[in-house]
Each structure stands twice: as structure tokens, then as C-alpha cells.
């Protein structure tokens, strides 16, 4: 079973993290938060965006980047960044990989990116667009990784409430 991981490096906006938490819950993805955070985990905006799913989310926190690395020494990490050399859809996401996103104001530190150039991926944008919203970026890249893993363990078909798809 695919068990993907989203890593947020020093996230600053609680609503973004709450929305990302909800996306992680809906996909069976673990969420990893690297401190310092720009908010409290108990923040109302975080819980409002994550709705009632936050309590059931598989979330891990780390005091800093070094703590994350020490606790996940074998992690295969992809770094989502506007500075990436590769398009996110060209990467081959393993079923247990980590996909890291940087803080809203500054992204992932360049020393981390420089040490991992082949795993830096970007979402294409036109012109001088600075970036997409963090929660949108997570959803785009995460769903590509899920697609590549066959949407393992996910519900692939919906149902109508009062009618059947076969009714005329």
C-alpha cells in the first residue's frame, strides 16, 4: 500500500496547513511539520480549515530540519520549489516517498536544494509568477504521486444518492 508523506518546512499560515492536513487525511498521507511554525497546532484557523479531520490525521512534528533528518534517515525526499530543474510530473514518486514544501515567505532553504538538485521539482507557471498557494501546490504534486501509485487504497468511483448511473 502506498504511504506517501508531505513535509512542510516551517509553515507560516494556519489555514494553508489546515487545508493541507485535510488533503492528507483524504488521501491517507502522513503530514510532517518542521518547526518553528508560524502558529499553534491548536490555532482555530488551522482546525477550521482542516475541519473535523485534524484529530484523525497522521501528523508528526520536528523541532528543526536536523531533527527531521535524524528521525527519517532513509527518507527519499522530493523538494517542491520554484527553483527546481525538473517538472513535478516527470519525477517517479515511490510509494513511501516524502514530498517537501517550504514556508510561504521563503520556500525551502537553498542549501537544502543545492544538496539535492536531482530531486528538486517545480510546477510550471507563466511569466514572472512568484508561486502558487502552498495548499494548492501540495494538492497538485501529491495527486500526481498518488496517480503514479495507482491511487492505491483510494475510492475510485462515486455514487449518485437517488439515481443509478444506468437509469435513463
Binding residues for S-adenosyl-L-methionine: 102, 123, 131
92 to 9, 50, 127, 144: CA distances (angstroms): 22, 28, 27, 10
In the chain, DSSP assigns E strands to: 5-9, 30-34, 59-62, 77-80, 86-87, 98-101, 120-122
**Annotated binding-site ranges:** 102, 123, 131
User: Alpha-carbon distance 96 to 2, whole Å?
Assistant: 6
Q: Which of 115, 123, 116 is nearest to 97 (CA)?
A: 116
User: Alpha-carbon distance 122 to 149, whole Å?
Assistant: 20
Amino acid at each position: 500500500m502506498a504511504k506517501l508523506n508531505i513535509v512542510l518546512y516551517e509553515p507560516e499560515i494556519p489555514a494553508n496547513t489546515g487545508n493541507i492536513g485535510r488533503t492528507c487525511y483524504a488521501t491517507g498521507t502522513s503530514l510532517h511539520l518542521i518547526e518553528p511554525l508560524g502558529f499553534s497546532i491548536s490555532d482555530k484557523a488551522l482546525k477550521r480549515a482542516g475541519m473535523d479531520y485534524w484529530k484523525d490525521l497522521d501528523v508528526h512534528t520536528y523541532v528543526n530540519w536536523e531533527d527531521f533528518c535524524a528521525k527519517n534517515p532513509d527518507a527519499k525526499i522530493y523538494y517542491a520549489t520554484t527553483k527546481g530543474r525538473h517538472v513535478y510530473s516527470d519525477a517517479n514518486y515511490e510509494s513511501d516517498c516524502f514530498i517537501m514544501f517550504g514556508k510561504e515567505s521563503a520556500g525551502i532553504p537553498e542549501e537544502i536544494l543545492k544538496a539535492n538538485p536531482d530531486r528538486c521539482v517545480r510546477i510550471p507557471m507563466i511569466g514572472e509568477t512568484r508561486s502558487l498557494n502552498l495548499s494548492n501546490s501540495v494538492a497538485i504534486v501529491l495527486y500526481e504521486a498518488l496517480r503514479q501509485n495507482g491511487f492505491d487504497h483510494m475510492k475510485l468511483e462515486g455514487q449518485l444518492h437517488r439515481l443509478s448511473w444506468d437509469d435513463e
